[in-house]
A and B are shown apart, each in its own frame.
Chain A
Amino acid sequence: MTLTSFTTADRIYATGLRNQWHPVVPSRFVAPGAMRKVTALGEQWLLFRRSDGALSMLADRCPHRGAPLSLGRHLGDRVACWYHGVEVGADGTVTSVPGLPGCNLEGKKLVTSLPVREVGGAILAWFGDEEHPEPAELTLPDPLTDPAADAFLCYAEWDVPWRYAVENLLDPMHGAFLHHESHTMFAGDTTAKFRIRETDRGYFFEKTDQRGVNFDWVELCRTGVDWVDLSIPYPPSAGPGGPFGIVGMVCPVDEHRSGVFFWRYRRVEDWQRDSWRFLYKTLIEKRHWEVLEQDRVMLEAMPADADQRENLYQHDLGVVRLRRLYRAEAEAQSSA
């Protein structure tokens, strides 16, 4: 097993909370009949897709002597390790030991295999520890299941600890400064008062005196997977349909890196939906990307000890709350 339950709270805080779902990479990163090596929660994994589309996620570690299975060969419904040819099925069972037929490794489930789901074009996996191999219930973000909403996934890889990427989303006030020159966040006050409002799935962090003008509120949702929902106004040039929303998720890759997932969604139907999609693909996607790059440049430039030497003020309540929550969970998940 790879996700050990005797990990320290510091290690969990650095590499991602266990016993929940996390996004891994976009679905399109693993074509039918292909495999792909990925890092997530500080561990090495192998995504393996059969030609009929069925996906599995295995620890990237041969049960024989630990060679990476990702260097091996895709055999349709199993993978063969390059080192001595041991074959492992999609559920982690050793199906064959070619060098010693009948060897007692055969038929044993010796490789960790994580439960996976594919949602809105992204692969989600259940990262349970030894005591929690069975996945907990997963409630998908409603904007991704609402038939009246239409979404594009944008995925990017940042050299940023996962917590900084989530904290950035719980910090709406940066919109009016960092993104001041952008096509969507130029308006609104640069001063604001915020409050936290509890919900049954997390909490809102929102301005008390402005809504629908800039990046004015965010909801943290913990529904088996952690995600945020927020909304940003579009200028009239984007056509009918009002603001666009963002569902955001973060993959803790390792203690220094994150995969960020942003679904840009809009509640539009019929020709309004089609014209938004056309504009998005042709012109808007690039502008959104430029805004996202501002976040990446800022977050990647933050010093490693940024969160050790701060002087916080009222706008940082959403971040403080988030840290307290994650820290407490990391403590609870460590057996130390």
Chain B
Amino acid sequence: MTDTWPYLDVHQSRTHEPTPYEYKLAATLEEVFTHEGHELTDVVRGLNARKVHTADGAPWTEESFRAEMNRLGA
């Protein structure tokens, strides 16, 4: 923790620098929200249509998407 004035830290909410997988998922999620809508079914369909899959390569389901958001967003 720095003691020097001024404290100007861009990132205050992160626990780690996002991985390439996290960056890609976030960017695609923004695109999906913009073009497909805000319902969970739209989001899962939109991610799968763009072939942006889970960390182990599986297509998303509503359950796996919820669980992953909970892990990454908590």
| Residues on A facing B (Cβ under 8 Å) | 28-29, 31, 36-37, 152-159, 235-240, 257, 270-283, 285-286, 289, 296
Q: Which 3 A-B pairs have the closest CB atoms?
A: A277-B73, A274-B73, A157-B6
| Chain A residues within 8 Å of B55, by CB | none
Docked-complex contact B70 and A257, CB < 8 angstroms: no
| Chain B residues within 8 Å of A235, by CB | 34
C-alpha spacing A271/B29, complex, angstroms? 13
Q: Which residue of B lies closest to A296 (CB)?
A: B8
C-alpha spacing A41/B49, complex, angstroms? 56
| Chain A residues within 8 Å of B43, by CB | 275
| Chain B residues within 8 Å of A283, by CB | 23, 26-27, 30
| Chain A residues within 8 Å of B10, by CB | 285-286, 289
C-alpha spacing A36/B3, complex, angstroms? 8
| Chain A residues within 8 Å of B23, by CB | 282-283
Docked-complex contact A275 and B5, CB < 8 angstroms: no
| Chain B residues within 8 Å of A36, by CB | 1, 3
A285 touching B12 in the complex, CB below 8 Å, given contacts A273-B73, A277-B73: yes
Q: How far is the CB of A33 from chain B (nearest CB, A)?
A: 13
Docked-complex contact A282 and B1, CB < 8 angstroms: no
B interface majority secondary structure: helix
Docked-complex contact B13 and A239, CB < 8 angstroms: no
Q: How far is the CB of A100 from chain B (nearest CB, A)?
A: 33
Is B50 on the interface with A (CB-CB < 8 A)? no
A282 touching B65 in the complex, CB below 8 Å, given contacts A271-B70, A275-B29: no
C-alpha spacing A238/B6, complex, angstroms? 30
A-B contact number at CB 8 A: 95
| Residues on B facing A (Cβ under 8 Å) | 1, 3, 5-14, 18, 22-23, 25-27, 29-31, 33-34, 38, 40, 43, 65-66, 69-70, 72-74
Q: Which residue of A lies closest to B4 (CB)?
A: A157
A275 touching B18 in the complex, CB below 8 Å, given contacts A235-B34, A237-B31: no
Which of A239, A280, A282 has the largest count of B CB atoms less than 10 A from its CB? A282
Docked-complex contact B29 and A239, CB < 8 angstroms: yes
**B7 is contacted by which of A157, A279, A285 (Cβ under 8 Å)?**
A157
**A240 is contacted by which of B13, B18, B38, B73 (Cβ under 8 Å)?**
B38
C-alpha spacing A271/B13, complex, angstroms? 18
Besides A157-B5, A275-B69, A285-B13, 17 other A-B contacts (C-beta < 8 A): A28-B1, A29-B1, A152-B12, A155-B7, A237-B33, A238-B30, A240-B33, A270-B66, A271-B40, A271-B66, A271-B69, A278-B72, A281-B11, A281-B13, A281-B14, A281-B72, A281-B73
